[in-house]
Structure 1
Amino acid sequence: LSGVNGEKAIRSPVSLKHGEFCCFGGFGPAEDGSLERLSSADFVLLSQTVEGFVRDTEDLSGRRSASLRGALQSQANRFVHRFHEERKTKLSLLLDNERWKQAEVPAEFQDLVNSIADGRITLPERKIPGTEDRKPTEFLFVNGQKYAVVGTVLLLIRIFLEYCQCVNDIPSIATDMLTRLSDLLKHFNSRSCQLVLGAGALQVVGLKTITTKNL
């Protein structure tokens, strides 16, 4: 086959396969909600696999697949929404149970902050060797400045990096994910003010008073 007929012979089955993949391959809306239950790591793997399939077939046919890319983006949007709501709920629970006392800083979290300062805004693939042998410090150090922090702040650092890791793994969700990250940080600031400056922690966790040390 050659020329126009050859192109049609390739494009037609590729378009058909894209449509079948959307309908039967599990990347369209799932009635049983199975895609919504995927872990972040599993969704990233699925997304990258589908993206690779789309690129390969587009290169083969010389034609962009609007249907499959649309299905991919639709599921990515659902993933971002669920990812954000889960972490926002988790952060709210952490804040509502925070005693607002200075926490020790494990070496693992200091290393995470150091990596952010160096421009490496991703979670390490595995625990950094030797961190368990280093004693926790009294303060968190950022560019030589020391900060007293509560436990929730340490966990917020990890959550922050989870958002950045998702952007690194699925670039197409960058704008939406970073908007959600901004919302998460605003939520942290707002709720912290309510609990400490607004004395909400007196009722929520039963603190007797809010002292300058808490502030």
Structure 2
Amino acid sequence: MRSESDLTARARIRDAAIDLFGREGVNRVSVRAIAARAGVSPALVLHHFGSKDGLRKACDAYLLEILRGDGRPADLGDTARLGSMLEAAAPARRYLARAFLDDSPEAGTLFDEMVAASERWLGHGAEEGWIQPSEDPHARAAVYVTWLLAPVMLHAHLSRAFGVDDLAETGATLRFSRAAIEIFTRGVFADDRVLDAWNTVRKDLG
């Protein structure tokens, strides 16, 4: 049976790995560097996770668990809690960017889980009337997830566009998330001319 201090050390190692893997990439980070960041010995890292690859898989599993959550969306009215979540999410966002760039099986599982969770959430909102219905709920959920991941994957370019060094800073996060929510809530096009043009193309090709 593990002691409380043992579990705490394991969590520190995992969190240090998520931060370093996200900043520098898995291949550029050593077990020794992770141990130093976590304040433990390299031997303890190997004791808990077996290898650096085992640690990476544990990080993937941990983020997947967070994404699964309890199936309910966060309370966006709780601004203090939302602020804390945005602040704490910076290392996770960096890690996810690396994971998707590496295109590992675990990253594929993460993406599929995010699409499934988003489809359930959007469907629930449509039933309650605060989400627009869709002709293709699964496709919409997949596209929605790619929108959510765009700031993660295009971090350097968006940081430059926003004039900041790190898009994960709370101020920058609030700015781009506000712009995204505005698009999702109010839309971009003021009428149906673009949609009508697409429907015409689909009809002609069909």
TM-score (norm 2): 0.29
Query: TM-score with structure 1 length normalisation?
Result: 0.28
Structure with higher RCO (Cα < 8 A, 6+ apart): 1
Which of the pair has more CA radius of gyration?
1
Higher helix share: 2
